[in-house]
Amino acid sequence: MVTGYCVKCKEKGVELSAPGIYQTAKGGFMAKGKHEKCGTTVCAMMSKDNAEKAMKDGATKEY
């Protein structure tokens, strides 16, 4: 499962629903998904290892 910070709820560690994994211009990785509770898009920076792990767990590769 992928978690991030929801700016709307001001809540840490919210679970992203149907997360997608993106690569940033600098070569880093980030996950983008929706906070189930409020529908806001939540982003989370990730290491390469965590990005690969998330994709194994069912996150969509978007790069």
Instruction: List residues binding Zn ion (CB under 5 A).
Output: 6, 8-9, 35, 38, 40
Nearer Cβ to Zn ion (17/50)? 17
Question: Least distance from C-beta 25 to Zn ion, angstroms?
Answer: 26
Nearer Cβ to Zn ion (1/9)? 9
Nearer Cβ to Zn ion (36/62)? 36
Pairing of β 11-23 and β 41-46: unpaired
Q: Which of 42, 41, 36, 39 is nearest to 4 (CA)?
A: 42
The CA R_g of the chain, rounded to the nearest whole Å, is 11
